Amino acid sequence: MTPDTLADLCARAYRHLTPWNAAQFADTLARPEALLTCTDHAFVLGQVILDEAEILALATDPDQQRSGQASAVLAAFHTQARARGAARVFLEVSTDNTPALRFYEGQGYRQVGRRKGYYRTGAEQFADALIMARDLP
């Protein structure tokens, strides 16, 4: 997927946050630690630094949600991150994004921290970010 394609998918999928734009995707993908796994309808963008991986963005086409696309692309991300030496994966998710929380918990992620007021959800409203992690077998 190109940065433009990733930005388009992100714009359609991110209802709870400000989506990434094409320039942000291009800048991130240009870094040597970047790791992108994707299917035709979903992607995971992250990075691997030493023995840790971090998921920066995950999106699934809204018309393809609940079709296994996110699970497949996340499994591929885990495999590729492990091949690069990662032993653990981290991510942040908003406390008000219940579907994402359920998805990540179903994928073996557990809360390891919390950032108060991390996400802006309105003019003067904020939601906490849960820091979640899972080990890679």
Catalytic residue among 54, 104, 109, 119: 104
**37 Cβ contact list (under 8 Å, min separation 6):** 43, 44, 73, 74, 76, 77, 80
Burial grade of 1 (CB within 10 A; 0-12, 13-18, 19 or more): middle
**70 Cβ contact list (under 8 Å, min separation 6):** 42, 58, 60, 103
- Would you call 124 a catalytic residue per the annotation? no
- Would you call 52 a catalytic residue per the annotation? no
What 3-state class would DSSP assign to 106?
A: helix
Catalytic residue among 33, 52, 54, 92: 92
Reading the block at residue 118, the tokens are 């991390």
Return the active site residues. 92, 104
